[in-house]
Amino acid sequence: MNYHVLTLFPDMIRQACETSILGRAVKNGTIAVETVNIRDFSANKHNRVDDYPYGGGAGMVMEAEPVYRAVSSVSEKLEKKPRVIYLTPQGRVLNQTMVEEFALEDELVLLCGHYEGIDERVLEEVVTDYVSIGDYVLTGGELGAMVLIDSISRFVPGVLSNEESSQFESLQDNLLEYPHYTRPEIWRDRQVPEVLLSGDHKKIEAWRKEQSILRTKERRPDLLEKSVRVRSLFYGTDLSASLAADLTEALSRYGEVMDFNRKKLRKTRWSFERRELLLFVLDTLDEDFFNVSMKGHQTPVFLITGEGVDPADAERFKEQLTSRRFRMLDTFPMEVLQDKEALKRTAIEMRKQL
């Protein structure tokens, strides 16, 4: 990942990127951070880049031309037009899905404003994304740019070691992390929860999930409201089985995969809740499957179909789901899951649609 940070305070960015995990990533070349000093593009012999606001009022406004030239100096070097992110309290508030989407880019331009802001006309001309890091006011966009660089870089291959891995993240599920413990087993009369010493990995996983939910309920009820239980259901060949497994893992730490080639599952009467997300991964669609008893409660559904599925049948299946009170969100051909990159993009697209 190559970051290009346009700022009046390049030292602030450079300093922060020298340290810790980001510093290591810059050193080993998995990320690069270029700073561009907007002042170097001043159209004025005194290197001034700000001026008084039209209409009066307090503070100064950054001029359009230096910002335009600074952005151009970066995009001229690149093969395709990069996303240009303007850091502002007026932007969309950053979340983990946005972070993962930005991480799919190869180049990102981060534009930091100062003073009262930047002339609106150059923003209209160059900015593709307006991003805020929270509902409070900062003196400039630099800290926002650093937050973006830090959170995005965690998803760039090679930035984190195995131990630091970003593969299973509770925030993806709109859940907080479960509590962590290390030695000693008893610290000032406080015992580590017994289950963690049991060696029973199934039980430990169940306990952690429960703790995540309890903790989110207590500390971030607003997040819990957005969380869904991910369940994938496949029918057909081994391909549908492995794609269902991969997609489920990309969407949720706690996802479940169900094999509807098993007659027992097809004979079950299924009822799904509003807070579940159902993924159908089908490379066969026959009467046996049409006859499965399923009802939803506005349950969101994505349908992924392989070559073996007749589009007319897929259409009929969608209508059936809608009439059984599912909420059909989107359909995808199986190709969108073929390689890791495409799969990741699809998972992010799905999360955005939820």
List contacts with ligand 6GU (CB under 6 A): 87-89, 131-134, 136-138, 140-141, 144
Nearer to ligand 6GU (CB atom), residue 86 or residue 289? 86
DSSP 8-state secondary structure symbol assigned to residue 108: E
Nearer to ligand 6GU (CB atom), residue 90 or residue 323? 90
Nearer to ligand 6GU (CB atom), residue 128 or residue 338? 128
Nearer to ligand 6GU (CB atom), residue 137 or residue 312? 137
Least spacing, CB of residue 109 vs ligand 6GU, in Å: 14
- How far is residue 56 from each of residues 67, 115, 139, measured CA to CA in Å? 22, 14, 20
Nearer to ligand 6GU (CB atom), residue 9 or residue 332? 9
Specify the 3-state DSSP secondary structure of 53: coil
* Nearest residue (beta carbon) to ligand 6GU: 144
CA geometry: angle at 230 spanning 224 and 232, to 5°?
A: 175
Least spacing, CB of residue 62 vs ligand 6GU, in Å: 12
CB count, 10 Å around CB of 296?
21
**Token couple for 128:** 């593709």
Q: What is the DSSP string of 204-269?
A: HHHHHHHHHHHHHHHH-HHHHTT--EEEEEEESSHHHHHHHHHHHHHH-TT-EEEETTSHHHHHSE
Specify the 3-state DSSP secondary structure of 274: coil
Nearer to ligand 6GU (CB atom), residue 22 or residue 62? 62
Specify the 3-state DSSP secondary structure of 101: helix
Least spacing, CB of residue 141 vs ligand 6GU, in Å: 4
Least spacing, CB of residue 85 vs ligand 6GU, in Å: 9
Least spacing, CB of residue 15 vs ligand 6GU, in Å: 18
Least spacing, CB of residue 43 vs ligand 6GU, in Å: 23
